[in-house]
Chain A
Amino acid sequence: GAVVSQHPSRVICKSGTSVKIECRSLDFQATTMFWYRQFPKQSLMLMATSNEGSKATYEQGVEKDKFLINHASLTLSTLTVTSAHPEDSSFYICSARSGGNTGELFFGEGSRLTVL
């Protein structure tokens, strides 16, 4: 099946620094990618939809200046957590869709961010 890879899988950073997480579709082109956040013992919460070549669409309540999303190519989307704080510590998961609106969604392995 299609593979979506995230990097890094784990990152620890100091409060106030910025962290970039990469999401790559390895064997297909993805015009649309989705970013989720998951806190312990909770479900996945959709943060934003990343569209290749255009601005991301953020879900209500998600700060677009805090969580910068760039989808510069058909195989790569990045999420940058700017000026990270301990409350940003979470499991971040990306998903990429192969094909158009009817394409299947494949998920990355997730990236665990810990902000000290």
Chain B
Amino acid sequence: DAKTTQPPSMDCAEGRAANLPCNHSTISGNEYVYWYRQIHSQGPQYIIHGLKNNETNEMASLIITEDRKSSTLILPHATLRDTAVYYCIVRGFYNQGGKLIFGQGTELSVKP
């Protein structure tokens, strides 16, 4: 699976949009971009995933560049409860049994 690169930490003001970038320049055509987050001392929580089109759900939006080499997760109105480590993972469904390999992620701190 392709490797991802994320900034180690970011701050965001409460109520503002949080934009978390991810680089995956070696992504291949059949690999999806997944985002998970982990709140302290809990298991990871699925947020969103996409292949090449932008995606939106009740939690977030995912913007994938046309060349698919990078993406941005957008939390439109960040709250204090969004403080967590956010992981961008590239996963090929048919590679290695579909397992998820976590990188270091971005530690997002939402401040009042």
Residues in chain B near residue A109, CB distance under 8 A: 42-43
CB-contacts of B82-105 with A (<8 A): 85, 87, 93-94, 97-105
Q: Which of A4, A49, A93, A101 contacts B94 (CB 8 A)?
A: A101
A98 to B103 alpha-carbon distance, docked (Å): 23
Minimum CB–CB distance from B8 to chain A (whole Å) comes to: 11
Q: Is the CB of B93 within 8 A of A46?
A: no
A116 to B53 alpha-carbon distance, docked (Å): 50
Q: How many A-B residue pairs have CB under 8 A?
A: 56
Across the interface, name the chain A residue whose C-beta is closest to B107.
Answer: A41
Q: Is the CB of B97 within 8 A of A49?
A: yes
Known: A43-B87, A43-B104. A102 touches B98 (CB 8 A): yes
Q: Is the CB of B98 within 8 A of A108?
A: no
Q: Is the CB of B98 within 8 A of A93?
A: no
A108 to B38 alpha-carbon distance, docked (Å): 11
Q: Is the CB of B98 within 8 A of A32?
A: yes
Judged by a CB distance under 8 angstroms, whether A67 is at the interface is no
Minimum CB–CB distance from B111 to chain A (whole Å) comes to: 20
Minimum CB–CB distance from B51 to chain A (whole Å) comes to: 12
Residue interface mask A42-62, B partner, CB < 8 A = 1: 011110010000000100000
Residues in chain A near residue B99, CB distance under 8 A: 34, 46, 49
Residues in chain B near residue A104, CB distance under 8 A: 46
A110 to B45 alpha-carbon distance, docked (Å): 12
Judged by a CB distance under 8 angstroms, whether B50 is at the interface is no
Q: Is the CB of A102 within 8 A of B46?
A: no
A86 to B38 alpha-carbon distance, docked (Å): 25
CB-contacts of A1-26 with B (<8 A): 1, 4, 6
Residue interface mask A74-108, B partner, CB < 8 A = 1: 00000000000000000101010100011111111
Known: A43-B87, A44-B102. A110 touches B46 (CB 8 A): no
Query: Residues of A with Cβ closer than 8 Å to B?
Result: 1, 4, 6, 32, 34, 36, 43-46, 49, 57, 91, 93, 95, 97, 101-110, 112
Identify 5 residue pairs between A and B in the complex whose beta-carbon atoms are under 8 Å apart, listed by A's number. Answer: A93-B44, A101-B93, A105-B46, A107-B44, A112-B41
